[in-house]
Chain A
Amino acid sequence: MVSFLRFLINGISLGSVYAIIALGYTMVYGIAKMLNFAHGDVIMVGAYIAFCAMQYLGLPPLVAVLAAMVFCTVLGMVIEGLAYRPLRQATKLAVLITAIGVSYLLQNTALLIWSSNPKVFPSVFNIGTIRLFDGNLVISSETILTIVANIVIMIALTLFTGRTKMGKAMRAVSEDRGAAELMGINVNRTISLTFAIGSALAAIAGVLLCSAYPTLQPTTGSMPGIKAFTAAVFGGIGSIPGAMIGGLLLGIIEILGKAYISTELGDALVFAVLIVVLLFKPAGLLGKPMREKV
């Protein structure tokens, strides 16, 4: 029972990281209708920036995270402006391939700068652990912090998209880009803002991911990126609470599957659940089914 609880908490923690990454995917998809495959690599860049800030500049962890967020925000906006904006009218596949190109570019730039040797990410937030059940259940501070960060981000994003003018503009653009433009919304700026927010979240996710799994390599971001993308689809792509639920469920399924069924098949299980869900709900858990008109 205690071990089950431990796995569950680990799952929630991993799922929280997925959820934060998935938020970036889902927001970008909702607004720009594109699969941003480079998102996973922005995570990796964020983690490297935080690592360098702490290791080489000796900055305190919080400042390092902020630096990573700022860097990734700028990076996200630059990528969007240079690579994706000229392709606004192009086919979806063209944008997808460009995103893959950007992903390769980020990975290989990281490879040149930081080499392929894995870096050991320092334990960032060591403020002690919580012990329950006579010390049988140890919850690390990283786990708690990840879950708390996830909840805070979720609330902040919900408030942002629901209450602020920019958030409403974002929702309007994702609903109908043409109509939003006619209402005087600056579509390009709104999309740019979405990329900025998504990339800042990716930086946070990168730091959280690497404090839980402390090996940092240029390819660190790709698998969590794919999983988070799966999570976004799982919850219904384009939906913010969907990304949250999808991410959490995916993390829990992965950890429990690895613990109780098979270590090797944990990933396969995640994808199998995704397929089953999509068969019964073709637009994801919270996605709205699209009506087709003739």
Chain B
Amino acid sequence: MKLKKSTINNLISYGVVIVAFIVCQAMISSGAMSRSLKGQMVPICVYIVMAISLNLVVGISGELSLGHAGFMSIGAFSAIIGAAWLRAALGIENEILLLVLSMIVGGAFAGIFGVLIGIPVLRLRGDYLAIVTLAFGEIIRNVLNCLYFSLEGSRLHVSFNNPSIPGTILLNGPNGAKDVAKIATFPVGFVLILFTLFVVMNLVNSRSGRAIMASRDNRIAAEAMGINVTKYKMMAFVTAAVLAGMAGALYGLNFSTVAASKFKFDTSILVLVFVVLGGIGNIWGSIIAATLLTVLPELLRAFADYRMLVYAIVLILVMLATNNPFIRSLFDRLIHRGRSAQTQRGGAAE
């Protein structure tokens, strides 16, 4: 049987992720992992999925998005409400099933908002597009701060800017959700990473993926070839939104209290940093950067107060180093020794 090159690459990727998962599981069960790091496992999964999905927008589709945390928050809160409702109305008690269903709910809602936001956003170009995604992220956070949800039996009550609603409060405006059932688990997070890889890699290697990349590289040329640029950009944007919503669902169900202030502009930027440091358009780079940078503040515990300062300095130095022509050519020579220099790099939102 002869496999396509992209299929082999995909299989290798899944294999590496599975091995990494088995190693982590072994470390957890043998007690070799510190408590604080163990608590980081689900957030790491969440940020990996966030980074891969943002990479789809920034790297593959070439549009700078500064509001990715907005989709994450929609996913988180719809999943929290969905989980509570599913438990009350349908009597689902199996936690894995509940988690998967609420992740689907989170992804679906984020996807709907992805379509609604994508329609105006994708009409714009460049920095204007970036600022509008930022604006949408802030609007989502502000509106979530005014929303109140409660559950009375199996009936869901919603109110806007009015905290007095009957039943047990699920989402309490600016205070966010309290007493959330912590049903998120690391294995489910791992499955979500596999699912994300599956979706994104298959999308990139498909006809649609090539159309998306063609629109990124030269919009006018792609249009002249008969590619419906808006449609394909929308496809990338909404896929990323759905994945971010599912990641948000996992994140929301991992903590007992979740407030909208957790999904600030800073969170969007954090994910963008993962994408850029990992290499724009490079999925593996996103995974590694997301893992390292989520663990890094943990490892820098020894520096205590200087932790974020060191983080900032590392960030600046890495950007300066990777963009230094001398260091860059050095790297190129090291990596592509003998091989013809690989000119094809992932394009960027330029």
Distance in angstroms from A173 CB to nearest chain B CB is 18
- Please give, as numbers and ranges, the residues of chain A lying within 8 Å of B220 by CB-CB distance: 292, 294
Task: Assess the A98–B132 pair: CB atoms within 8 A.
Answer: no
- Please give, as numbers and ranges, the residues of chain A lying within 8 Å of B139 by CB-CB distance: 268, 271-272
- Please give, as numbers and ranges, the residues of chain B lying within 8 Å of A94 by CB-CB distance: 276, 319, 322-323
- Please give, as numbers and ranges, the residues of chain B lying within 8 Å of A230 by CB-CB distance: 131, 134-135
Task: Assess the B136–A275 pair: CB atoms within 8 A.
Answer: yes
> For the complex, what is the distance from the CA of A245 to the CA of B232, rounded to whole Å?
36
Give A263-291 interface residues, CB cut-off 8 Å to B.
264-265, 267-268, 271-272, 274-275, 278-279, 282-284
Task: Assess the A275–B323 pair: CB atoms within 8 A.
Answer: no
The 0/1 profile, CB within 8 Å of A marked 1, for residues 114-156 of chain B is 0000001001110110111011101100110110000000000
Task: Assess the A282–B125 pair: CB atoms within 8 A.
Answer: yes
Contacts known (A97-B315, A262-B146, A267-B138); A105 close to B323, Cβ less than 8 A: no
Q: Which of A105, A109, A222, A274 is B132 in contact with, Cβ under 8 Å?
A: A274
Contacts known (A87-B323, A92-B350, A233-B127); A102 close to B143, Cβ less than 8 A: no
A237 is an interface residue with CB less than 8 A from chain B: yes
Distance in angstroms from B326 CB to nearest chain A CB is 11
Task: Assess the B323–A278 pair: CB atoms within 8 A.
Answer: no
B272 is an interface residue with CB less than 8 A from chain A: yes
- Please give, as numbers and ranges, the residues of chain A lying within 8 Å of B315 by CB-CB distance: 97-98, 100-101, 104
A166 is an interface residue with CB less than 8 A from chain B: no
- Please give, as numbers and ranges, the residues of chain A lying within 8 Å of B313 by CB-CB distance: 101, 105
> For the complex, what is the distance from the CA of A112 to the CA of B307, rounded to whole Å?
11
| A272 nearest in chain B by CB position | B139
Distance in angstroms from B279 CB to nearest chain A CB is 11
| B145 nearest in chain A by CB position | A264
- Please give, as numbers and ranges, the residues of chain B lying within 8 Å of A268 by CB-CB distance: 138-139, 142-143
> For the complex, what is the distance from the CA of A92 to the CA of B125, rounded to whole Å?
14
Contacts known (A94-B276, A97-B273); A102 close to B316, Cβ less than 8 A: yes
A93 is an interface residue with CB less than 8 A from chain B: yes
- Please give, as numbers and ranges, the residues of chain A lying within 8 Å of B64 by CB-CB distance: 92-93, 96
| A233 nearest in chain B by CB position | B131
A interface: dominant SS: helix
Task: Assess the A109–B127 pair: CB atoms within 8 A.
Answer: no
Task: Assess the B312–A104 pair: CB atoms within 8 A.
Answer: yes
Contacts known (A233-B131, A278-B132); A264 close to B146, Cβ less than 8 A: yes
Distance in angstroms from B244 CB to nearest chain A CB is 19
A90 is an interface residue with CB less than 8 A from chain B: yes
B194 is an interface residue with CB less than 8 A from chain A: no
A3 is an interface residue with CB less than 8 A from chain B: no
- Please give, as numbers and ranges, the residues of chain A lying within 8 Å of B128 by CB-CB distance: 233, 278, 282-284
A108 is an interface residue with CB less than 8 A from chain B: yes
- Please give, as numbers and ranges, the residues of chain A lying within 8 Å of B350 by CB-CB distance: 91-93
Q: How large is the interface on A (under 10, 10 to 19, 20 to 34, 35 or more residues)?
A: 35 or more
- Please give, as numbers and ranges, the residues of chain A lying within 8 Å of B58 by CB-CB distance: 93
| B272 nearest in chain A by CB position | A97
Task: Assess the B312–A275 pair: CB atoms within 8 A.
Answer: no
Distance in angstroms from B337 CB to nearest chain A CB is 25
B3 is an interface residue with CB less than 8 A from chain A: no
Give A137-153 interface residues, CB cut-off 8 Å to B.
none
Task: Assess the B123–A97 pair: CB atoms within 8 A.
Answer: no
Give A59-114 interface residues, CB cut-off 8 Å to B.
83, 86-87, 89-94, 96-98, 100-102, 104-105, 107-109, 111-112
The 0/1 profile, CB within 8 Å of B marked 1, for residues 108-140 of chain A is 110110000000000000000000000000000
Task: Assess the B309–A93 pair: CB atoms within 8 A.
Answer: no
- Please give, as numbers and ranges, the residues of chain A lying within 8 Å of B308 by CB-CB distance: 104, 107-108, 111
B161 is an interface residue with CB less than 8 A from chain A: yes
Distance in angstroms from A133 CB to nearest chain B CB is 32
Task: Assess the A112–B320 pair: CB atoms within 8 A.
Answer: no
Task: Assess the A237–B127 pair: CB atoms within 8 A.
Answer: yes
| A265 nearest in chain B by CB position | B142
- Please give, as numbers and ranges, the residues of chain A lying within 8 Å of B145 by CB-CB distance: 264
A51 is an interface residue with CB less than 8 A from chain B: no
Give A199-242 interface residues, CB cut-off 8 Å to B.
222, 226, 229-230, 233, 237
Distance in angstroms from A273 CB to nearest chain B CB is 9
A191 is an interface residue with CB less than 8 A from chain B: no
Distance in angstroms from B276 CB to nearest chain A CB is 5
B305 is an interface residue with CB less than 8 A from chain A: yes
Task: Assess the B161–A264 pair: CB atoms within 8 A.
Answer: yes
The 0/1 profile, CB within 8 Å of A marked 1, for residues 319-350 of chain B is 11011110000000000000000000000111
> For the complex, what is the distance from the CA of A222 to the CA of B138, rounded to whole Å?
13
Which residues of B approach A to under 8 Å, CB–CB? 58, 64, 120, 123-125, 127-128, 130-132, 134-136, 138-139, 142-143, 145-146, 161, 174, 220-221, 265, 269, 272-273, 276-277, 280, 305-306, 308-309, 311-313, 315-316, 319-320, 322-325, 348-350
- Closest 6 interchain pairs by CB? A268-B142, A271-B135, A104-B312, A101-B315, A105-B312, A101-B316
Q: A97-B273, A282-B125 are in contact. List 13 more A-B contacts (CB 8 A).
A: A83-B316, A91-B323, A98-B319, A101-B313, A102-B316, A104-B308, A105-B313, A112-B309, A271-B136, A272-B135, A272-B139, A275-B135, A294-B220
Which residues of A approach B to under 8 Å, CB–CB? 29, 35, 83, 86-87, 89-94, 96-98, 100-102, 104-105, 107-109, 111-112, 222, 226, 229-230, 233, 237, 262, 264-265, 267-268, 271-272, 274-275, 278-279, 282-284, 292, 294
